[in-house]
Structure 1
Amino acid sequence: MNEKEIQSFSLETLLTVNEPRPEDLYFDGCLIASRVKIMDTVNIDLFRYPTRLDAFAILFCSEGSISFTSGLRRHTLDAKMLFVFLPGSILQVESIRPESSVYTVIYEEEFIRRINIDIKLLSRLFLSVEKQPCLRLCEAEWAGITGSFAEIRSESLPRPGDVYSPEILRSMIRTLAYKVCRIIGRHIESQPAPETSARSRNDEYFNQFMSELTKHYMQERSVGFYAGQLHLTPKYLTTIIRKTSGRTAAEWIDDYVVLEAKNLLKYSTMSIQEIAYCLNFPNQSFFGKYFRSHTGMTPSAYRMSK
């Protein structure tokens, strides 16, 4: 891994940081992890720190609730809800209510190809719910999902000499993926047709801003730069972003930079000076002041924290 590139973790790399528990199933590029009746109200081991994962992921909550950020947006997943996660987004669990039960399914792209799922279909569906990625399931849908989990768990039990079990598991996991696709499709169909309005135009500007931010935040931190990319004045851009998201453009920019800094400090072997240059700060001192003003910690203190 090139230390100076944006850190993006494969499922295999993630599992070297957070070792699977005995109840987790890792199979050929797919992880199905369960955390049942969790007592830790602060964090769970998976995604404890900001993590950019190069894989498709789906979170399910069967009881309680879990709060997390994805793409710097905060979400709360309640009982009988699922959350869809596109490769390249940054995910971090913030808190979880006691006695909650959460399930995570993570698919590497190569695994999806091996079990003959249409990646274009999966990506298109996930993108369609990107603005509202937390979906509530009806009773029949939830029963179908939990039924698939039970079947997969049963089939994953050791069967020495059974040459058929791996193919059965692939088929079951493929079925689970398509059940999720059907739920997303139902959600899309239930949404009203978009209207052309000032609100929708603002939403479009916000989406363009976020797209530009995703491309350039490691080099550019000024509102003026992003306003120029959208052919707007900095003041007008700030007004639009605040109306649309409740936060200023500068806050979004700072959050992206700080989240990437945390990611590099926690997972890369780069020195703090190298991280400062990677994020286009003039020197380590300037980076340190910036990081501390937004987190209350120095970069070295954050790197040493658990």
Structure 2
Amino acid sequence: MAKNKIVHIPKFRMADSGSKGIKLNKLDPGTEVAGEHSIAFPHRDDHYMLVIIEQGKLGGNIDFEKIESEGPFLMVVFPGQVHLLTPQTPLSGWIIDFDPALVDPQLRNDLDSRCKYLLPMHQSPSDAAFRQVQKLLTVIQALYEQPSDTRHKAIAAILTGVLHIINGLALHIAETGSRKNNRPQQIKQQFLALLYQHYNEWKKPSEYAKRLAISTAHLNDTLKQLTGRSTMSIIQEHCVMEAERLLHFTDLSVNEISYRLGYPNPSHFIAIFKAQRGITPLRYRVQSI
């Protein structure tokens, strides 16, 4: 009997947390990590996951990037990222799942563009930020354990404060300390936010430039200055990353993946993939097994 064809990467929604889109798990040595869904295999979520590790070692991978770090550190797993995280030692800290709707668009854009990597907490500025985050999470935990029907508003407000601290920390780490014109960074952040939402619809840089109310040339120059890559290259890289996920974790054919990503001509998609990765999608699938 033929096995069922895998056409989707497992994706989990937040269960009813009792706190209107926020689920908190306190990590303590000797206790297992509780979850709303199985984390024994790679999957993605429809929500954010904020991981704060005070002590202990965490391993795994996020979108094929190996993760192996020892606390203290924090990281954000974003909606749609394929991930598998496994404790290597007993952990202390917190895991907070939260609905994207709880975060205002500007803060969400900032997090998307700055926080897709581990934030270490061993530098003096980050030590102070980490202590602030710890204090606020302790308050969130106390509220979370209360039976009040109105607690979710206070929890959401404090969580927003935590995310602003994390965003500021990420900005501090990314910059050299000197004041810079932040308009190029704003353009980059707004472009990436649009890309994450429309990558399977919009393939032309002009479509993003039009929505940003700037010229295509200005968008391209800005991204080249900040990333060293052209607008088109970044668009294609994002599509190829999603293709890698689908090639590795589903049984969709190359043609089906091409159509799903918004490329009606599979030959064009294959050429883009090969230009980005140096091999064809089918060869990538064989090598990734």
TM-score (norm 1): 0.55
Which residue does 1:184 correspond to in 2?
163
Query: Does 2:107 align with 1:107?
Result: no
Task: State the alpha-carbon separation in 2 of the partners of residues 207 and 186 from structure 1.
Answer: 18
Aligned residue among 48, 72, 80 for 2:72: 80
Query: Does 2:108 align with 1:127?
Result: yes
Aligned residue among 255, 265, 274 for 1:273: 255
Does the CA contact (< 8 Å) of 2:82 and 2:245 recur in 1? no
Deviations for 1:256-281, whole angstroms, at most 9, x for unmatched residues? Answer: 11012122223344322122122233
Task: State the alpha-carbon separation in 1 of the partners of residues 277 and 59 from structure 2.
Answer: 23
Task: State the alpha-carbon separation in 1 of the partners of residues 276 and 92 from structure 2.
Answer: 30
Identify if the C-alpha distance between structure 1 residues 296 and 66 changes in structure 2 by more than 3 Å, giving closer, same or farther. Answer: farther
Q: Secondary structure at the match of 1:199?
A: coil
Q: Secondary structure at the match of 2:76?
A: strand
Question: How many equivalent residue pairs?
Answer: 244
- The amino acid of 1:127's aligned partner reads R
Does the CA contact (< 8 Å) of 1:206 and 1:241 recur in 2? yes
Task: State the alpha-carbon separation in 2 of the partners of residues 206 and 75 from structure 1.
Answer: 26
Quote the RMSD (CA, aligned, Å).
5.3
Query: Does 2:33 align with 1:24?
Result: yes
* Equivalence map 1:56-71=2 (5 Å): 56-61=48-53, 62-63=55-56
| TM-superposed deviation, 1:240 | 0.8
Identify if the C-alpha distance between structure 1 residues 205 and 74 changes in structure 2 by more than 3 Å, giving closer, same or farther. Answer: farther
Task: State the alpha-carbon separation in 1 of the partners of residues 38 and 251 from structure 2.
Answer: 29
* Equivalence map 1:1-306=2 (5 Å): 9-11=11-13, 23-26=32-35, 30=36, 52-61=44-53, 62-63=55-56, 79-86=71-78, 88-90=79-81, 105=95, 107=97, 109=99, 122-124=102-104, 127=108, 130=111, 131-133=113-115, 134=119, 136=126, 137-139=129-131, 141-142=133-134, 183-184=162-163, 186=165, 199-304=181-286, 305-306=288-289
Q: Which runs of 5+ in 1 are unaligned?
A: 13-21, 34-44, 110-118, 152-166
Does the CA contact (< 8 Å) of 1:223 and 1:250 recur in 2? yes
Identify if the C-alpha distance between structure 1 residues 280 and 189 changes in structure 2 by more than 3 Å, giving closer, same or farther. Answer: closer
Task: State the alpha-carbon separation in 2 of the partners of residues 170 and 55 from structure 1.
Answer: 24
Does the CA contact (< 8 Å) of 2:109 and 2:189 recur in 1? no
Identify if the C-alpha distance between structure 1 residues 231 and 123 changes in structure 2 by more than 3 Å, giving closer, same or farther. Answer: closer
Q: Secondary structure at the match of 2:203?
A: coil
Task: State the alpha-carbon separation in 1 of the partners of residues 273 and 283 from structure 2.
Answer: 11
Does the CA contact (< 8 Å) of 2:52 and 2:74 recur in 1? yes
Q: Which runs of 5+ in 2 are unaligned?
A: 15-30, 173-178
| TM-superposed deviation, 1:298 | 2.9
Does the CA contact (< 8 Å) of 1:288 and 1:299 recur in 2? yes
Identify if the C-alpha distance between structure 1 residues 212 and 107 changes in structure 2 by more than 3 Å, giving closer, same or farther. Answer: closer
Identical counterparts, % of pairs: 18
